[in-house]
Chain A
């Protein structure tokens, strides 16, 4: 494109300058017009000033005439007083004159009268050759009588007959005839103003009457120059010219006034302002010419300057705009060329890129399908052809769902086609991992796929690209891992984690949808016997059989899980209470009827079932499980092989739930080391034993610092298998303490049955002895009769191992449990602790006394020393001593005290008891 570069800028600049010139000219003319208006306002003001002064002159003449005419006699002094005021106020008035009319007949008397009045040389005079001489005879005279200001220089005017001057006479005649003022030129810049005085109080109407009635006149001498100067005063630089028109109408005198201050520097080319005006009033007429020469400083240049500045700015802006237009055009041209070049380059690049993309698409492992905006297939890469079973040619033009048919892996339902969502722009790019591609032959291939819209330059969607790849192998592995994570490897049932997930869903379902479900918590009875008797393989087999029974007795929609060991959980979905009870009883019955045969031996088992309703009132997952667990064990406590329905107001269940709450507290106390050891003295009843003996007891310290006795938490600890940890804490703490403080004493430590069954517990104890250096001979472990019998083999192993190190053992609560003396033969214990239940009433109850005595005797018979608990009185102690019990402990001897306090020397409580 050919650009007219310089002309455009220059043209716009010249246009701006022309505009500037026009603006300046306009502003200049406006300024001049403003000056002209101001000039006219000035002339109008001067006109008004002159008019007011002429009016004032007229009024003065009228007033003086009235004074003369209205007063009986006005002497010179009265005339002087009046005139002085007038002349002082109106400076343009040079003189005030009173001229009486004197007839020729009156002349002599008139002159003599003036002589008598102090004017001895008075005469009516004419002016001849510059001198005042006695007037010639005429019919009448108008001699000047009063003249103010009265000065020697003007005194010669006294007596001058005005009628002797033709000019004056003409003006006076006019004044008389018209009864108005008339004027007559005097000098170049003064004139006389005449006004006639008529006899009588009114001015005669007719001219003839006026001529007869006139008796004098008032004359005022007016200084035209002063008049103009006074009016023009304040208007600097203004020239004024006044021409007087007399009564006869002819210009008789010219007065010039120039008030210019002589300022220099007026514009040579500035045309002067001129105006002509005229002031007319009752016989006075002044024609005025005004001239004002304009100086440069007379004009208001603000507008001109503003116009010039504005115009120049606009010129600059236009020039800049022109330059900008030129630069933009040049830039557009350059850009156009650049775009063309880039288009060519991009076209080449695009062709290469397309080829590269096609090669890439052909070589990548993912399948790629592109469609147009209507979802019709445009392209398939080789992998896509392979996976879909469609060739690119066959697929071209077909709708995408026909070629790329996918279903959801989890629901097996037709999956949403990615096409429409992307075309509608309602879905963002997303990788889907749950799809299964159904190829042209109907084969299913697990795929991950994603789709994205294809947009043009205007961001309009012109198609969709779908990418996918075969994930069959990965998905199979994932499914297997998922199965293993949620299923019990032994039975194939759901494991605890999966069961809890299902239960959580059921709980939400109950809360949100109002459905009612049933949770069954199953614990096999006598499983341990089978397991111990027939071995773990048999036990595992039994569990698989039971699992099959449970699956058979539940619905497909129900969930059956192995929760651990011989515990199972069944979640009956959407199941009413009665239906749940029915199923639970059926399960219990089926299990009870089931006979497990292993190596030709038949084993009968049972199952205790706790049942809990899962409904909208249910609390949390843990609460439900806790309730089911409690109900299950309640069933066990009630005789096993039972179904126990959990009810919130069931006291037994509440107690068990309370125990469960202890689990949390105990675990936390263990973590925070909030336990303390107490010791209760054990004294010998048979001899003076110097060695101090103590049964070490444990107390828990609550978070609030309160001491909790073991009876409150030990049952729960036993129930929930926390006793091994507690026993470890006791052994650890006591041996630490004994190593430091009182290695000389003898301590007994209670051990639970669970600890005996703990394979690691023995090693732990041995390690503690090793670590602390406490002599094992100073430690006696107490095992309850029940625990020992229930874990007989473990107990035997444990006792044997420690006794070899020197430890002693005591069988606790003997008589309260199995009380099978046969066990004593196999248990190498050193002490029998007679159950306190017999001891405390032995004084009053012969049976108890007999029991105590029998146990004591048997023990002694077996070489085992005896210890009586609950020795709470002197009488008990005495009787115990009588029957030969070796040791006693109880409140009668000493209450349990913190371990630190036993450092105080023990009182010799046995002094009075020994034999």
Chain B
């Protein structure tokens, strides 16, 4: 009888110890943006189920799309750092450029805490990545097929306008676009705006100044009105418009978009791998590979552009 009670006690203690270990794993997700922002929500949507059961997840939003001031970002980074210091997560998932620039690069480089980054546009080089304690996934847009399709639709494209919010990632995106399109003999100019009216003006102006328009992210335009933007885009649509963001497909004739979920999924799986004992340095930095294609027939018809049949059949139709 005594032996049975002793074994029962040992079993109970063992279970409690295991429970403590599971509860001890902590994952901190630091987002450059805010909850409700499409890209951020996509990352979270795929990340949550993977991390569940592996660690306690806390989220910190730097809200960089709604607050473009670098000081705000720096302040948020400090808050995040304070949180890290206070909470001591086992792994930190840093999403997108603001977090990489203001938090990871500044406070988490070569520290003991593993960092998994994701959503960095095109390159991690500006932030000195990778570090021994950091690995992750870079966000690469399907720019090459997009360029190829522009050539198919627009006759002798030479000039392009990159119309976006005046925000850090968009500048980075513009730089990439300028490089990629530049290699193809197409000059890209950036029209970075902060208001709805400016966006409308930029769009209207681009109808005259460019052979095609690259619709960048609206995030950062504080008075963004989707319906108004949609109507304006339709009313003035004459030039071919392309985008690499799925949520901008309503304002673009052809969109080849990255998928935020892939970023979150990779980051979560990498975090789990690290929690299981893998070293971040042993996990190479990789690029995303998934993308979707959208076409806006309403705009295409308004501007009287006709895409290749296979594109029309394969693409997702939006209004």
- Indicate whether B209 reaches chain A with its CB closer than 8 angstroms: no
Which residue of the partner chain, among B138, B139, B273, B286, contacts A153 with CB atoms under 8 Å? Answer: B273
- Indicate whether A522 reaches chain B with its CB closer than 8 angstroms: no
Q: In the docked arrangement, what's the CA distance between A150 and B289, Å?
A: 10
Q: Are B284 and A121 in contact (CB under 8 A)?
A: yes
Q: Are A121 and B269 in contact (CB under 8 A)?
A: no
- Indicate whether B291 reaches chain A with its CB closer than 8 angstroms: yes
User: Which residues of the partner chain B approach A118 to less than 8 Å between Cβ atoms?
Assistant: 122-123, 137-140, 286-288
Q: In the docked arrangement, what's the CA distance between A122 and B130, Å?
A: 12
- Indicate whether B298 reaches chain A with its CB closer than 8 angstroms: no
Which residue of the partner chain, among B124, B266, B278, B284, contacts A158 with CB atoms under 8 Å? Answer: B284
- Indicate whether B217 reaches chain A with its CB closer than 8 angstroms: no
Q: In the docked arrangement, what's the CA distance between A334 and B264, Å?
A: 108
Within 8 A of A (CB), among B282-307: 282-291
Q: Are B290 and A77 in contact (CB under 8 A)?
A: yes
Can you name the residue of chain A whose Cβ is closest to the Cβ of B288?
A118
Q: Are A119 and B270 in contact (CB under 8 A)?
A: no
- Indicate whether A535 reaches chain B with its CB closer than 8 angstroms: no
Can you name the residue of chain B whose Cβ is closest to the Cβ of A131?
B282
User: Which residues of the partner chain B approach A131 to less than 8 Å between Cβ atoms?
Assistant: 282
Q: Interface code A147-162, partner B: CB below 8 Å = 1, 0 otherwise?
A: 0001111011011000
Which residue of the partner chain, among B122, B137, B283, B289, contacts A75 with CB atoms under 8 Å? Answer: B289
Can you name the residue of chain A whose Cβ is closest to the Cβ of B122?
A118
Highest count of chain B CB atoms <10 Å: which of A117, A118, A150, A159: A118
Can you name the residue of chain B whose Cβ is closest to the Cβ of A79?
B289
- Indicate whether B20 reaches chain A with its CB closer than 8 angstroms: no
Q: In the docked arrangement, what's the CA distance between A150 and B269, Å?
A: 11
Q: Are A152 and B266 in contact (CB under 8 A)?
A: yes
Which residue of the partner chain, among A76, A77, A120, A156, contacts B283 with CB atoms under 8 Å? Answer: A156
Q: Are B130 and A120 in contact (CB under 8 A)?
A: yes
Q: Are A155 and B286 in contact (CB under 8 A)?
A: yes
Q: In the docked arrangement, what's the CA distance between A860 and B165, Å?
A: 191
Within 8 A of A (CB), among B54-82: none
Q: Are B288 and A152 in contact (CB under 8 A)?
A: no
- Indicate whether B125 reaches chain A with its CB closer than 8 angstroms: yes
Highest count of chain B CB atoms <10 Å: which of A119, A152, A155, A158: A152
Which residue of the partner chain, among A76, A120, A151, contacts B269 with CB atoms under 8 Å? Answer: A151
User: Which residues of the partner chain A approach B142 to less than 8 Å between Cβ atoms?
Assistant: 75, 77
Distance to closest chain B CB from A907 (angstroms): 147
Distance to closest chain A CB from B95 (angstroms): 16
Q: Interface code B11-46, partner A: CB below 8 Å = 1, 0 otherwise?
A: 000000000000000000000000000000000000
- Indicate whether B129 reaches chain A with its CB closer than 8 angstroms: yes
Q: Are A76 and B266 in contact (CB under 8 A)?
A: no
Q: Are B129 and A120 in contact (CB under 8 A)?
A: yes
Within 8 A of B (CB), among A90-142: 117-122, 131
Q: In the docked arrangement, what's the CA distance between A118 and B287, Å?
A: 4
User: Which residues of the partner chain A approach B282 to less than 8 Å between Cβ atoms?
Assistant: 131, 156
User: Which residues of the partner chain B approach A121 to less than 8 Å between Cβ atoms?
Assistant: 130, 284-285
Q: Are A120 and B289 in contact (CB under 8 A)?
A: no
User: Which residues of the partner chain A approach B124 to less than 8 Å between Cβ atoms?
Assistant: 120
Q: In the docked arrangement, what's the CA distance between A131 and B282, Å?
A: 8
Can you name the residue of chain A whose Cβ is closest to the Cβ of B287?
A118
Q: In the docked arrangement, what's the CA distance between A120 and B129, Å?
A: 9
User: Which residues of the partner chain A approach B291 to less than 8 Å between Cβ atoms?
Assistant: 77
- Indicate whether A295 reaches chain B with its CB closer than 8 angstroms: no
Given A77-B291, A152-B266, A119-B286 contact (CB < 8 Å): yes
User: Which residues of the partner chain A approach B288 to less than 8 Å between Cβ atoms?
Assistant: 118
Q: Are B285 and A119 in contact (CB under 8 A)?
A: yes
Given A118-B140, A120-B138, A152-B270 contact (CB < 8 Å): yes
Distance to closest chain A CB from B121 (angstroms): 10
Q: Are B290 and A152 in contact (CB under 8 A)?
A: no
Q: Interface code A877-911, partner B: CB below 8 Å = 1, 0 otherwise?
A: 00000000000000000000000000000000000
- Indicate whether A80 reaches chain B with its CB closer than 8 angstroms: yes
Distance to closest chain B CB from A619 (angstroms): 126
Q: In the docked arrangement, what's the CA distance between A156 and B279, Å?
A: 12
Can you name the residue of chain B whose Cβ is closest to the Cβ of A123?
B284
Given A120-B123, A120-B129, A152-B287 contact (CB < 8 Å): no
User: Which residues of the partner chain B approach A77 to less than 8 Å between Cβ atoms?
Assistant: 142, 289-291
Can you name the residue of chain A whose Cβ is closest to the Cβ of B124?
A120
Can you name the residue of chain A whose Cβ is closest to the Cβ of B130?
A121
Q: In the docked arrangement, what's the CA distance between A564 and B49, Å?
A: 149
Highest count of chain A CB atoms <10 Å: which of B138, B273, B286, B291: B286
Q: Are A152 and B125 in contact (CB under 8 A)?
A: no
Q: In the docked arrangement, what's the CA distance between A152 and B273, Å?
A: 8
Q: Are A155 and B140 in contact (CB under 8 A)?
A: no
Given A118-B140, A121-B130, A80-B284 contact (CB < 8 Å): no
User: Which residues of the partner chain A approach B278 to less than 8 Å between Cβ atoms?
Assistant: 152-153
Q: In the docked arrangement, what's the CA distance between A193 and B140, Å?
A: 31
Q: In the docked arrangement, what's the CA distance between A155 and B291, Å?
A: 19
Q: Are B283 and A158 in contact (CB under 8 A)?
A: no
User: Which residues of the partner chain B approach A158 to less than 8 Å between Cβ atoms?
Assistant: 284, 286
Given A152-B266, A153-B273, A119-B283 contact (CB < 8 Å): no
User: Which residues of the partner chain A approach B284 to less than 8 Å between Cβ atoms?
Assistant: 119, 121-122, 155-156, 158-159
Q: In the docked arrangement, what's the CA distance between A14 and B103, Å?
A: 98
Distance to closest chain A CB from B117 (angstroms): 12
Distance to closest chain A CB from B100 (angstroms): 13
User: Which residues of the partner chain B approach A75 to less than 8 Å between Cβ atoms?
Assistant: 142, 145, 289
Distance to closest chain A CB from B123 (angstroms): 7
Q: In the docked arrangement, what's the CA distance between A77 and B287, Å?
A: 11
Q: In the docked arrangement, what's the CA distance between A150 and B137, Å?
A: 12
Q: In the docked arrangement, what's the CA distance between A75 and B278, Å?
A: 29
Q: In the docked arrangement, what's the CA distance between A121 and B137, Å?
A: 11
User: Which residues of the partner chain B approach A159 to less than 8 Å between Cβ atoms?
Assistant: 284
Distance to closest chain A CB from B94 (angstroms): 16
Q: In the docked arrangement, what's the CA distance between A370 and B210, Å?
A: 158
Highest count of chain B CB atoms <10 Å: which of A76, A151, A155: A155
Q: In the docked arrangement, what's the CA distance between A153 and B278, Å?
A: 9
Can you name the residue of chain A whose Cβ is closest to the Cβ of B123?
A120
Q: In the docked arrangement, what's the CA distance between A153 and B266, Å?
A: 10
User: Which residues of the partner chain B approach A80 to less than 8 Å between Cβ atoms?
Assistant: 289-290
Can you name the residue of chain A whose Cβ is closest to the Cβ of B116?
A152
Q: In the docked arrangement, what's the CA distance between A653 and B20, Å?
A: 156
Q: In the docked arrangement, what's the CA distance between A158 and B284, Å?
A: 8
Q: In the docked arrangement, what's the CA distance between A35 and B270, Å?
A: 52
Q: In the docked arrangement, what's the CA distance between A819 and B182, Å?
A: 192
Distance to closest chain A CB from B18 (angstroms): 24
Q: Are A117 and B287 in contact (CB under 8 A)?
A: yes
Q: In the docked arrangement, what's the CA distance between A120 and B283, Å?
A: 12
Highest count of chain A CB atoms <10 Å: which of B123, B282, B284: B284
User: Which residues of the partner chain A approach B283 to less than 8 Å between Cβ atoms?
Assistant: 152, 155-156
User: Which residues of the partner chain A approach B145 to less than 8 Å between Cβ atoms?
Assistant: 75
Which residue of the partner chain, among A76, A122, A151, contacts B289 with CB atoms under 8 Å? Answer: A76
Q: Are B125 and A120 in contact (CB under 8 A)?
A: yes
User: Which residues of the partner chain A approach B138 to less than 8 Å between Cβ atoms?
Assistant: 118, 120
Distance to closest chain A CB from B125 (angstroms): 7
Q: In the docked arrangement, what's the CA distance between A240 and B252, Å?
A: 59
Distance to closest chain B CB from A688 (angstroms): 160
User: Which residues of the partner chain B approach A120 to less than 8 Å between Cβ atoms?
Assistant: 123-125, 129-130, 138, 285
Which residues of A are at the interface with B, using a C-beta cutoff of 8 A? 75-77, 80, 117-122, 131, 150-153, 155-156, 158-159
16 other A-B residue contacts (CB within 8 Å) besides A77-B289, A119-B287, A121-B284: A77-B142, A77-B290, A80-B290, A117-B140, A117-B287, A118-B137, A118-B138, A118-B139, A118-B286, A118-B288, A119-B284, A120-B124, A131-B282, A152-B269, A156-B284, A159-B284
16 A–B contacts, CB within 8 A, in A order = A77-B289, A77-B290, A117-B287, A118-B137, A118-B286, A118-B287, A120-B123, A120-B124, A120-B138, A122-B284, A131-B282, A150-B286, A151-B269, A153-B269, A153-B273, A158-B284
Closest 8 CB pairs of A and B: A118-B287, A76-B289, A118-B140, A152-B270, A118-B138, A77-B289, A121-B284, A152-B273
Which residues of B are at the interface with A, using a C-beta cutoff of 8 A? 122-125, 129-130, 137-140, 142, 145, 266, 269-270, 273, 278, 282-291
